[in-house]
Amino acid sequence: MNPSLDDLHPYAFERLDALFKGVVPNPKHRLIKLYIGEPKHPTPQFIRDALTAGLDGLAVYPSTLGGEELRQAISRWIERRYGVAGVDPASQVIPINGSREALFGLAQAVVDRTRPRPAVVMPNPFYQIYEGAAILAGAEPHYLNTTAESNYALNLGQLDDGVWANTQLAYVCSPGNPTGAVMTLEDWR
């Protein structure tokens, strides 16, 4: 077993559920859980129809890279939506079931634990998978604390040069999760 499993913190939703234990919402109001990103509406019929029509494909494992037609469609959408030309569906697009699997897998692939003191930088507050992925990849998480006063902007000067020298991965998300803060083009530069 990975000895770093003991270093993981409880998932944020587990802690939140513990805080809500015993809390009874006012029955006059419908509870709206704004803290979890699950769909709240029924699956549209055209999606149900497409899933049913594709049931025969469940007998085989899908390609890790997804189908070529899907990757091409995603590439075209990125080009239309963001005005980015030349997105290569073969080398720059990979479909995933959810962001957690990709964010976790990315850390496992890029962190070189044979180098001394590997570091992964992330904003704080953060999406819980950043920290868990860093720890299980053998890296030390380092946090860029963000506040409402600065509109949750990243202050890269919070970390010393030694941390940056050992940084192998930095998680950046815009809009930020969970803050919703949007980085400017200057922030990205």
Let me know whether 187 and 101 are in one domain: yes
Are 143 and 166 found together in one domain?
Answer: yes
- The reported pLDDT for the residue numbered 92 is 93
Q: Do 131 and 7 form a contact (C-beta atoms < 8 A)?
A: no
Looking at the structure, tell me whether residues 187 and 148 fall in a common domain.
yes
Kindly state whether residue 132 falls inside one of the protein's structural domains: yes
Overall number of domains in the chain = 2
Structural domain of 72: 62-95
CATH number at residue 107: 3.40.640.10
What pLDDT does residue 86 have? Answer: 94
* Sequential pLDDT tens for the chain (189 residues): 777 877 877 777 777 788 888 888 898 988 777 666 677 789 999 999 999 998 887 888 878 888 899 999 999 999 999 898 999 999 999 898 888 889 999 999 999 999 999 999 999 998 889 999 999 999 999 999 999 999 899 999 999 999 999 999 999 988 988 888 998 888 888
Q: Which of 52, 72, 95 is the last residue of a domain?
A: 95
Whether 182 maps to a domain, the answer reads yes
Nearest to 120 by CA among 60, 166, 177: 166
- 133/188 same-domain check: yes
| Same domain (yes/no): 127, 87 | no
Residue 25 lies in a domain: no
- Residue 171: the pLDDT is 95
Domain check: are 106 and 85 in the same one?
no
164 plus 79 within the same structural domain: no
Instruction: Assess whether 101 and 91 both reside in one domain.
Output: no
187 shares a domain with 110: yes
- For residues 136 and 67, membership in a common domain is answered with no
H/E/C letters for each residue in the chain? CCHHHHHCCCCHHHHHHHHHCCCCCCCCCCCCCCCCCCCCCCCCHHHHHHHHHCHHHHHCCCCCCCCHHHHHHHHHHHHHHHCCCCCCCCCCCCCCCCHHHHHHHHHHHHCCCCCCCCEEEEEECCCHHHHHHHHHCCCEEEEEECCHHHCCCCCHHHCCHHHHHHEEEECCCCCCCCCCCCCCHHHHC
- Same domain for 82 and 133, yes or no, is no
Residues 103 and 130: beta-carbon distance below 8 Å: yes
pLDDT at 36: 66
Give domain status of residue 8, yes or no: no
167 falls within a domain: yes
pLDDT at 90: 93
